[in-house]
Amino acid sequence: MVGLNQSEIESNFFLSDKQADDYFAALGCETHKEEFCHRRGVFFHRNRCTIGMACAQAVALRGTPTTARRHVPGPRRHEKARVWQPKVVQGTPSCSAN
């Protein structure tokens, strides 16, 4: 598996640091060092996974451009919804007739 080079790790770290700053600023609370480091690590891991998935998809599309483009099946033709209707048979007494 190909890893990230040093500049990509640094840019991901700075992005994660900014995301953690924005996260705690939106909450409007002061943070402890441990909380901030944990949140920054969460953002760092999520960003790394997102970059890895984008790279994997790019490689898959590059290898087989015609078959890998559609990740979900195409839309199907939907039939009209069938509404259940009771069958009325002539000559049978109804339940409410007494």
| pLDDT tens digits, one per residue of 23-56 | 888 988 888 889 999 999 999 999 988 888 888 8
- Contact yes or no for 39/23 (Cβ under 8 A): yes
Q: Is residue 12 part of a domain?
A: no
Q: Is residue 96 part of a domain?
A: no
Q: Is residue 13 part of a domain?
A: no
- The pLDDT score that the predictor gives to residue 46 is 92
Q: Is residue 89 part of a domain?
A: no
Domain hosting residue 24, numbered range? 19-70
Q: How many domains does the chain have?
A: 1
Q: Is residue 44 part of a domain?
A: yes
Q: Is residue 36 part of a domain?
A: yes
**Percent residues over pLDDT 70 in the chain:** 60
